[in-house]
A and B are shown apart, each in its own frame.
Chain A
Amino acid sequence: MEPIYWPSFFFYLFAILACGFAVAVLLSANIVRMAFYLVLSLAATSGLFFLAGQEFIGAMQLLIYVGGTLVLLVFGVMLTSQERFVSMKTMSGDWFIGLMAGGALLSLLAAAAFSVPQWGSPDRAAVENLPVQKTAAPIAMGLLGARVDQPGPDEPQRGVMSGYLLHFEIVSVHLLVVLVGAAYLARAKRKTAPAPGV
């Protein structure tokens, strides 16, 4: 009997957990339980990152998605959920539209994922010969504008290798705009007193 390849075993374990809880989010009718299942699904996803040896991204997933966003989500849900939103029944028409939209995206992504030959499952012997480099430094340096995993700036194709600094800045400015907008929308609206003499 061929010995079990344990990384694959754990990959399937976490993948099944993530997908299973994602389906549970869809099938559950209670909104807080949905949030609970979503947390478990996202936590299983971070397990996949840890399995891949990318502890930084795994911890990031835990902190941002599981921790921050979902605390806020549950917080918002608990504050805003009125009687008719606590338990949501999906109508059959909604099921149809949802399946159409979700299924179209799923088929597109699946087709794209399987059509790229480099993304297919690689040879195991080749994988085990890969150099182990457990550091998030290339990503961080890429965000700062230097692609250390690619040919350096002395190379002729300098413009290509400029890193993700611009994208990163665009995203952060975008987030800032969203924050300002949220603060503007959520501010206490003060009634302006009528001007004297009117």
Chain B
Amino acid sequence: MGAFLDNYLPSWLAYTLAALVHIFLLLNLIAVGALVFIWLERKISGRIQDRLGPTRVGGKFGWLQTLADGLKLITKEDLMPVGADALLFRAAPYVSFAASVTAFMAIPFAGGAYPWVAQRLNTGVFFVIAVIGLEVFGVILAGYSSASKWSLFGAMREAAQVVSYEVPLGMCAVVPVLLAGSMDLVVIGDQQAGWFTNWFLFNDPATFITFWVYFTCATASVNRAPFDLAEAESELVAGFHTEYSGLRWSFFFMAEYGSMLSVSLLASILFLGGWHGPIPVASMLGLTYENGAVAGYLGNLLGCVNILLKGVLGVSVMMWVRWTLPRLRIDQVMTTCLKYCTPIAAAMFLGAIMWQYYLPHRNFFGLLPANESAYAVHEGWADQEGISSAGAVNMVEAADDSRGGLAVEGAGSAALLFDPATPSTSHVASAERGG
């Protein structure tokens, strides 16, 4: 978008405008998302506990309840304990929230030739996982600077939990990367185009199990029940945010709901086809860029709605789990991670490799032949045989973009990784054939 505006406006204005539009959309997604999710959480918890939940504010279903909550929070006094470290105490909520927002920068909402993503990175998966892990830093700062033993205990637990859950989470995310042959989230999503049989979730039994391990670890890493040890009400008052009030407190919650959405979106891109639905409605209706820009835009819009629905579904499942299962003890949390999730993730990683080795070019548990474009990228003949996968096409355009603009704006694709057209990797290929 920046490169597009650059044709009409002075360079600095074009890129600033593009950045502002992206950040405006993403902030609104998180803020409105939090608004909806808090209401949804109240409704779901109410129904699970055989209550009605909010019913009055805003007429039917109490759908304005969160807005009323927000007004209440804004008018609350901003308190700080006497012994607190003022700078860190004030900064902590923003650190959490900034990490949560930054993760959305690299998450695409639609793919194809013109993906909807604020900043396309050729190592998108890696970036998102790295940034999601940073949110814990705000929690640790909050826990330490509050000068309260409850906060400190909460922060300690959170640090221990997140550090250990990063390991299986990363291992699970590697499996779709392995199948796609790329760390670019746009390429990973586009390789699952078509019917739901192409989803990596159904690729083989190993990926099917990996998805559930990923979801467990994601729940733990965003600090949701049954893993919400850091804010265990029954033991630690409110954990790391005991001393916070008003708007600062709500920033922690915006960050939490934002992270829930981002891990769910990541799950849907990695395993659930991202913007490609269970039924390929967009391509059935001819809404692709081959039929003109408007059709392509509508197709992308449909894909965006699709992935957001999957994300909301993931968040709802997290809520369902929260109000169903009791909270684990800290030693049980560690056991789940180190004795179950990590070994299972490692075994499934190996299983996915073996499956790919013995049953290549098949998907849906080996029952159906896979799309040619899905493996053309990582086998390196995407351009040679005239089968141009979306990723390979994009990469060239993105490379052209980055020439004119800032170095930061450029976004390549890991599809380049195994492209035999570039002289660099051809040596390796020849070495493999020779040796």
Contacts and interface: CB of A to CB of B under 8 A. Distances in A.
Interface class of chain B by DSSP: helix
Contacts of A138: 424
A66 B134 contact: yes
A100 interface: no
A104 B385 CA distance: 59
A12 interface: no
Interface residues of B, number: 54
Interface stretch (A15-23, A45-53, A108-116, A117-125): A45-53
A132 interface: yes
Contact of B410 (A30, A66, A78, A132): A132
Contacts of A33: 85, 87-88
A32 B144 contact: yes
Nearest to B139: A71
Indicate the size class of the contact surface on chain A: 35 or more
A53 B130 CA distance: 17
B72 to A, nearest CB: 31
Interface class of chain A by DSSP: helix
A189 interface: no
B403 interface: yes
Nearest to B431: A153
A146 B134 contact: no
A67 interface: yes
Given A78-B144, A78-B152, A134 B133 contact: no
A70 B425 contact: no
B131 interface: yes
A78 B416 CA distance: 45
B152 A6 contact: no
B156 A53 contact: no
B408 interface: yes
Nearest to B404: A128
Contacts of A63: 126, 129-130, 133
Contact of A148 (B88, B410, B424): B424
A59 B130 contact: yes
Contacts of A146: 427-428, 431
Nearest to B129: A63
A135 B425 CA distance: 11
Interface string A141-153: 1000010110111
B166 interface: yes
Contact of B159 (A62, A75, A151, A154): A75
B121 interface: yes
A70 B431 CA distance: 41
Interface of A: 3-4, 6-7, 10, 30, 32-33, 36, 39, 50-53, 55-56, 58-60, 62-63, 66-68, 70-72, 74-75, 78-79, 128, 132-138, 141, 146, 148-149, 151-154
Given A66-B134, A66-B137, 5 more contacts: A59-B127, A71-B137, A135-B414, A135-B417, A148-B424
15 contacts: A10-B408, A32-B88, A50-B408, A56-B122, A56-B183, A59-B121, A63-B130, A63-B133, A71-B159, A74-B144, A78-B140, A135-B414, A153-B431, A153-B434, A154-B430
Interface of B: 11-12, 15, 85, 87-88, 91, 121-123, 126-127, 129-131, 133-134, 136-137, 140-141, 144-145, 152, 155-156, 159-160, 162-163, 166, 183, 399, 402-403, 406-408, 410-414, 416-418, 422, 424-425, 427-428, 430-431, 434
